[in-house]
């Protein structure tokens, strides 16, 4: 159980860091570059959510 909780905590932390970086890129970079980086971050967050779902569902105790 502790391995599962540790893995899920690390993935949630990575998702939070990517979300913060995406919002900062929208503010700091010029129009299209910031939009591209934020969109790439959103796509990465979506993939991490999918992996989070499958890891929590299929993790062996």
Residue 18 makes CB contacts below 8 A (sequence gap 6+) with: 41, 44, 45, 48
**The pLDDT of residue 19:** 95
What is the domain partition of the chain in residue ranges? 2-58
Contact 33, 22 (CB under 8 A): no
**The pLDDT of residue 61:** 65
**The pLDDT of residue 12:** 94
Q: Sorting pLDDT into bands at 50, 70 and 90, what band is 57?
A: confident
Closest CA to 56 of 2, 5, 19: 5
**CA dist., res. 7 & res. 2, Å (int):** 9
| Tens-digit pLDDT profile for residues 8-53 | 999 999 999 999 999 999 999 988 999 999 999 999 999 999 999 9
Q: Sorting pLDDT into bands at 50, 70 and 90, what band is 1?
A: low
Contact 48, 15 (CB under 8 A): yes
């Amino acid at each position: 159980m502790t391995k599962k909780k540790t893995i899920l905590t690390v993935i949630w932390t990575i998702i939070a860091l990517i979300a913060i970086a995406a919002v900062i890129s929208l503010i700091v970079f010029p129009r299209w570059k910031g939009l591209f980086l934020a969109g790439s971050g959103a796509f990465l967050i979506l993939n991490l959510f999918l992996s989070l779902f499958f890891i929590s569902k299929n993790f062996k105790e």
